[in-house]
Amino acid sequence: MAVQYDESQIQHLEYMEHIRRRPGMYIGKLGDGNSPDDGIYILLKEIVDNSIDEFTMGAGRKIEIQIDDKVAKIRDYGRGIPLGKVVECVSQENTGGKYDSEAFQKSIGLNGVGSKAVNALSSHFLVRSFRDGRMVEAEFSRGKLVREKKPSPTSERNGTYVEFEPDGDIFPNYRFHLGFVEERAWNYCFLNQGLLLAVNDKKFQSQEGLLDLLKRHVDDTIRYPVVRVSGKDIEFAFTHGNQYGEHYFSFVNGQHTTEGGTHLAAFREGLVKGVRDHFRKDYDPSDVRASVIGAISIRIQEPVFESQTKNKLGSTEVSPGGQKIRGWIVDFVAKEVDNALHRSPEVEAALKKRVEQSERERKEISGIRKLANESAKKASFNNDKLRDCRIHFDDKHERRAESTLFITEGLSASGSITKARDPRTQAVFSLRGKPKNCFGKTKKMVYENEEFNLLQHALNIEDGLDGLRYNNVVIATDADVDGMHIRLLLLTYFLQFFPELVENNHLYILQTPLFRVRTKSESRYCYSDAERDQASAELGGKVEITRFKGLGEISPDEFEGFIGPKIRLDPVVLPPNMPVERTLKYFMGANTPERQDFIIRNLRVEVEEGAPVLSAEEGN
């Protein structure tokens, strides 16, 4: 039977209502704050971006961010929104000051959507503009004006104040992680030298731009001092380390383009060209870029991004009718890399040694890599190893961000998750036994170990993240000693061979309930002793408490509540100044004296029925 389609099916949505009905079009995925690209951080970014644009235009050198529970407050000291247009600028379609390229030459956003999206998606939104001794204030709820204060005298310095509380109906159970906010603050400062940014009174400032950025993300294992070059509207920096993979930070007009784009591709190409030109040798591009740590920042007029969240640059020209971005960046980077190598024999020698080492390693594993790839292709990925989902990466697909691979231990756990999952977006990979400890091993081990080889092929990350098939990679192991050990072995595998998967925030740990507390009429699932005790007290009466020993004990019907909309995921986040190699050596290397000392210092003696028992302090 054909579905009726006539005038009654045609709807008109007001601008703010459209944002609320289709938030993903404006801020990407929603999330709960456990990922740095979740919607609440995009809301914060949209407001701070406006303040950054003021700084870029030479108005105001300080921005203050305050996170109080679920409310974000932002104060800048720029020019302030023109007082007669405050309400319109934060609530009306196609209203803003960035359409005039003279006023905002190279700002982050030009479409005037950002603050309006924040307004529409907040249960509480307050804006104040201070300008030349006068102030205007307006308060909104879910995009609708509830109170407006007409211009009045003020002693406040010029600028804008915005506070908002994301709507709990759209962002259920969200929370701001200060670590993610602080990392954004650092990036703003690296790209805007001299800017003073405060997050809950913690101050951030950079004087050397991308050089400071890379210094913060590398340790003393780098092969040579960071090379930094700055030109008109372009800056880049790079060095080589000992880790696997390529590591980049890319920015356009101060915006962190986490998915790269035109400028990053050109930077990578220019780096290879510069090295080849200098040494007059046709090195394989993968050998030049292996273990590189680099950053690039450009400023262009009217940038074109591939989505409202501005994570990927799509522009091909510097400006309408101007030079092509790719050619401009490739030529500049290649020339300056060549110059840098001529200026520093130390850097020249160290870089050449690193490239030739990568070349040798690639040739050494070429034979075993070919055999391993053939073996992986023959493996049955749709039986007991990988139960795939129906969609994968597609930039135009609404559910792209939801594509998930659960890595489980054993067939019973994978069987339960498989029966409960959403087969459209969730896949399951089943490990057989405990993985090997791969710390300190070369990538040859990945191809020699069947489990590791099949896992890298399931993810399609053998040659980097460009073909990554799942946006979210979730380690789902039992909450016992063996499960924790397997989790640690998998973390070592990813950090050793595919650290960019972690750095780009694709890796998570699945939280599963430890207890079920139930009466005849109600069941509650608890993730800690405290939640168990609270549920027992609230349910009252005679309760039955079940302690889950493993994922295989949880029925598929129960699992639906744990891997569905209420899924609890802990992101695996690397502190920027954490020395990965040293940290892995500490936990996964030989039984080092440092680790022995730590264990001894954190042991305490308990007496149980007269017998002395050694146990670790809680939390260690």
Q: What is the pLDDT of residues 293-314, one digit of tens each?
A: 999 999 888 777 676 556 777 7
What is the per-residue pLDDT for 560?
A: 75
The segments of the chain whose pLDDT lies below 50 read 1, 5, 7-13, 95, 97, 99-104, 109-112, 395-397, 605-620
Instruction: Identify the pLDDT of residue 4.
Output: 56
Question: Would you call 333 helix, strand, or coil by DSSP?
Answer: helix
Task: Please tell me what DSSP assigns to residue 96.
Answer: -
Q: How far apart are CA 35 and CA 570, in angstroms?
A: 9
Are 240 and 292 contacting, i.e. CB atoms less than 8 angstroms apart? yes
Q: What's the pLDDT tens digit per position in 10-34?
A: 344 466 777 887 777 777 778 888 8
Task: Give the residue carrying structure tokens 């456990």.
Answer: 34
CA torsion sign, 472 to 473 to 479 to 485?
negative
pLDDT for 220 equals 75
Q: Which CATH number is 16-204's, of 1.10.10.10, 3.90.190.10, 3.90.1150.10, 3.30.565.10?
A: 3.30.565.10
Report the Cα–Cα distance between both ends of the chain, in Å, rounded. 64
DSSP states of 494-515: HHHH-HHHHHTT-EEEE---SE
Can you spell out the DSSP letters for 196-238? EEEETTEEE--SSTHHHHHHHH--TT-SSPPEEEEETTEEEEE
| Separation CA 273–CA 282 (nearest Å) | 9
* Long-range contacts, stretch 135-138, CB < 8 angstroms, 24+ apart: 135/83, 136/81, 136/83, 136/86, 138/86, 138/87, 138/90
pLDDT at 11: 46
Instruction: Report the topology of domain 210-364.
Output: Ribosomal Protein S5; domain 2 (3.30.230)
Reported as a single tens digit per residue, the pLDDT across 549-583 is 777 777 777 777 778 877 888 888 877 666 777 77
Domain 381-512+564-578 CATH class label: alpha beta
Residues in CB range of 43: below 8 A, 6 or more apart = 27, 72, 117, 118, 121, 122, 164, 166
What pLDDT score does 18 carry? 76
d(CA 516, CA 60): 54
Global pTM?
Answer: 0.76
Q: What was the pLDDT predicted at 613?
A: 42
Segments making up each domain of the chain, as ranges? 16-204, 210-364, 381-512+564-578, 515-547, 590-620
